[in-house]
Structure 1
Amino acid sequence: MSSALRAELRNNQSCSELNQLRNNGRIPAVLYGLNQQNQNIHVDYSDIQQHIRRHGKSSIVDLTMQDGTTEKVIINEVQKDNLKDRIVHVDFKRVNMNKPMVTTVPIALIGEATGAKQGGVVQFQTRELEIRCLPTERPETIPVYVSELEIGSSITIADLDIPSGVEVQHEMNEVIVSIVPPRLQPVEEEPTDEIQEPEVVGARDSHGLDEAK
């Protein structure tokens, strides 16, 4: 499954020109791959943000240029301003639809784990998988069914239902998600009202002499 984005060529390269693009709601990007010439382009900020939210970063994109030509691409890299949590640059990579590619696919948890209902804590070891497949066979997500997962148990790569034509680039015993026991809170000692008598050092006998030690 693919989605569509529109792009326009750009000539601006300086920091001030790129920032002006961003201020106008556009994101600088580059298109490369398949031994073709690199192209500096820009795309609409809202469109690319919405695409990533719906389809992830590695889904197939029909990238249409202003001259009407369309290319099959994937989003190979997204650069963000972490302070503002905003996209600042995108790398698009051309793909050959008839040749297997290595890409990533997000993991989708299905259901609520029994162990979580009992107070356990869900621990992710990874939220996406690296796979190898034809672009047309890339799944949107890999479902992980956790309803029967109890405290102390886990799900590995070997437990997943991987679609035909997809090769997972991980060890089969690699853990995806597990349920661990809840952390015990330290028990605070209750205050006591009992007044302790101070220890008497060198107590004297009835004659005023120190007792033998």
Structure 2
Amino acid sequence: MSTVISATKRETGSRSILTQLRQEGKLPSVIYGFNVNETTPLYFEYREMAREVQRHGINNIFKIDVEGTTYNAIITDIQRDALKGTVKHFDLLSINMKEELEVDVPIAIVGDSVGVREGGVLTQPNLTLKIRVKPSDIPDTIEIDVTDLGVGDTLALADVRDKISFDVLNEDDYTVATVTPPTPQAEETDGDEANLTADDVEAVGEKLDPEKPGRED
């Protein structure tokens, strides 16, 4: 678990308040859930929160101190700037450390796929798995081995569920990975033909007549 991160209650209202906070290096947030009477608007020091996320991961349980009251919380939603990619706002869910909760955990593909070695392309349609787990047991990732996946094969959750040591809530047909055949490459255009000019046409059996329209000398 990370170190205690200080948060400050903030006012709600116009967008200008949020804009000013961001300009001052603050990160707006809200916290709700266990032992929180009502959704409470907060803000953090952007650099401090970013450092903790980089250090411990997005699925970490964060200890949040809100003006003297400490909560164990996880991040449930992140809003990013569409152009810059920076975080604009995030939601925190205060949790009871004794109760299981549902969380989305990133899938980590491992293994050298047979199909990829044969020229296929590995794709990952879904990037996370939803699991039910105690807060203290939340993993950073769930590894899925694709070594035996050939060209044209699809790996569904049903194929690997018994290899995952967590209660996975997704349906059996949830696609984890596929290997698609390689895309045929288009034939390359002859370089000389592509650069053919009017003066070169004679070489391919047709000579332009200077007296005919369309020719300017």
SS in 1 for 2:38: strand
Measured on the aligned residues, the alpha-carbon RMSD in Å equals 2.6
Flag the 1:10–1:121 CA change in 2: closer, same or farther, 3 A: same
SS in 2 for 1:130: strand
CA deviations 1:61-117 (Å, max 9, x no partner) are 1213343x3211111111111112111111111111122211111111123323223
Q: TM-score, normalised by structure 2?
A: 0.76
1:100-119 maps to which residues of 2 (within 5 A)? 100-119=100-119
Kept in 2: contact 1:79–1:87 (CA 8 A): yes
Count of matched residue positions in the alignment of Structure 1 and Structure 2: 193
Does 2:11 correspond to 1:9? no
Q: What is the match of residue 50 of structure 2?
A: 49
| Structure 1 or 2: more helix by fraction | 2
Q: Runs of 5+ in structure 1 lacking a partner? A: 197-213
Kept in 1: contact 2:71–2:94 (CA 8 A): yes
1:1-213 maps to which residues of 2 (within 5 A)? 2-13=1-12, 14-34=14-34, 36-53=37-54, 55-67=56-68, 69-158=69-158, 159-160=160-161, 161-163=163-165, 166-187=166-187, 195=205
**CA–CA distance in 1 between the matches of 2:127 and 2:55?**
16
Percent identical pairs in the alignment equals 29
Letter in 1 for 2:164: I
Kept in 2: contact 1:9–1:42 (CA 8 A): yes
Q: What is the match of residue 209 of structure 2?
A: none
Q: Runs of 5+ in structure 2 lacking a partner? A: 194-202, 207-217
**CA–CA distance in 2 between the matches of 1:47 and 1:149?**
42
Flag the 1:120–1:100 CA change in 2: closer, same or farther, 3 A: same
Q: TM-score, normalised by structure 1?
A: 0.77
Q: How many angstroms does 1:46 deviate by?
A: 2.5
**CA–CA distance in 1 between the matches of 2:184 and 2:38?**
59
Q: How many angstroms does 1:143 deviate by?
A: 0.4
Flag the 1:18–1:174 CA change in 2: closer, same or farther, 3 A: closer
CA deviations 1:133-189 (Å, max 9, x no partner) are 2212222211012233322223221314222xx321112232201111111123357
Compare 21-30 and 152-161 and name the one that shifted more: 152-161
**CA–CA distance in 2 between the matches of 1:108 and 1:182?**
23
